[in-house]
Amino acid sequence: MSPATPNILLGAPLIELSTIDSTNIYAMDQIKQGLAKSGSCYTADFQTNGKGQHGRAWESSKGQNLLCSYILELNTLDALKNWTPTDQIGFSAAIALGARAFFAGFAGPETKIKKPNDIYFSDRKAGGILIENLVRGKEWTWAVIGIGMNINQNSFTSAAVNRVSSNPISLQEITNKIWDLKQMQQHLSAALNMAVQDWLQLGEAATLKVLEQNIIELDQL
């Protein structure tokens, strides 16, 4: 841990988009064009080409869920540290823990993490994370943290429901409440900030230990 660990700012500025191919694609383009500000969060009402793990599409009805990508320039955490791809292990674990903490805060302790980066409620998928990184030489420079969380959607396509590995569920289905997406975005940002701060303070080993305590093992998945 560095002598003075900074406060992490993920979620500001908040850039709200309407319909876009993918918030991750947009965020990565902003970085590559030199237009990105570390900490920015790009949100969308709808994605025409939402990206999930292993090239899978991410289904979401327009204006019903959280669809967002945060960007982080690593030297804003500690300009003196040489950030390398090996640091991505602890960081990825921290982001998963933050996303899980966010959803569990409203849905309850049945919320777990299915490796590598899926959020489950019981045996049903509530959210997913896709982290894409920029590495220059041996230095890890930027992270794009794409997150999709099922919040208010109350029906899913038969293809998604019949796929055992991602039988989806939303927070609205769990709680029988409609949630304010802007407020939920703020809660997600706060949970991620806290998780990243914990990772910086406690280190990779401690973060991975907490991750293992929150893993769900589903034999069929």
| Residue 2 counted as domain residue | no
| Residue 134 counted as domain residue | yes
> Rounded to two decimals, what is the model's pTM?
0.89
Phi/psi at 206 (5° precision): -65, -40
Q: Which of 57, 60, 145, 37 is nearest to 97 (CA)?
A: 145
Please list the pLDDT of the chain residue by residue as tens digits (221 residues): 444 455 678 999 999 998 888 899 999 999 999 999 999 999 998 887 555 544 455 556 777 899 999 999 999 999 889 999 999 999 999 999 999 999 999 999 999 999 888 999 999 999 999 999 999 999 999 999 999 999 999 888 754 444 444 689 999 999 999 999 999 999 999 999 999 999 999 999 999 999 999 999 765 44
| Residue 1 counted as domain residue | no
The SS3 assignment for 33 reads coil
Per-residue confidence (pLDDT) for residue 179, from 0 to 100: 98
- Whole domain around residue 145: which residue ranges? 14-213
Domains in the chain: how many in total?
Answer: 1
| Residue 186 counted as domain residue | yes
| Residue 5 counted as domain residue | no
Angle at 107 between CA 173 and CA 215, to 5 degrees: 115
Per-residue confidence (pLDDT) for residue 18, from 0 to 100: 85
| Residue 45 counted as domain residue | yes
Per-residue confidence (pLDDT) for residue 62, from 0 to 100: 76
Q: Report the CATH number that the domain containing residue 156 is assigned in CATH.
A: 3.30.930.10
| Residue 28 counted as domain residue | yes
| Residue 52 counted as domain residue | yes
The packing angle between helices 181-202 and 204-213, to 10°, is 130
